[in-house]
Amino acid sequence: MKTTMKRAGAAVLGAAALAGTFALAGATPAAADEVPKGATYHVIGSGEALTDHVQTWVTTHYDSDDWRANVRVDYGRSGAWTVCSDGTEKHGPLQGPGYWIFAGNCYGNGTIRTYGWYDG
């Protein structure tokens, strides 16, 4: 049940992003008791507007068992969310405002049924 999330530093902006220069730091998955009750979930590809904390989302990798996206959280806290074909839900840790790389996978839990973010 590994979902990873990394924060991209200020180098993501401007020419440094075009040159592929990134400052990354790791984070661990959120435990089930760390996911706030009443969290709001947002599915990528559902056609909904990017609101509720996430201002921009660009999926950079997607296949049947893992995904990655460049995300800007403009206020509040949001985290990666993945639902697997066996019903397992995986949550990345909640992140505050900034530029982030959200990611998730279904290794050992089938294939990705849906993915996106949750607000806490």
- What tokens were used for 91? 């949550």
Does residue 17 sit in helix, strand or coil?
Answer: helix
**Whole-number Cα distances in Å, 91 to 10, 12, 32, 72:** 25, 24, 8, 17
Read off the pLDDT of residues 71-114 as tens digits, 9 standing for 90 and up: 999 999 999 999 999 999 999 999 999 999 999 999 999 999 99
CB 35 within 8 A of CB 92: no
Give how far the C-alpha of residue 36 lies from the chain's centroid of Cα atoms, to the nearest Å: 16
Q: Is the full-model pTM beyond 0.85?
A: no
- CA dist 19 and 54 (Å) reads 25
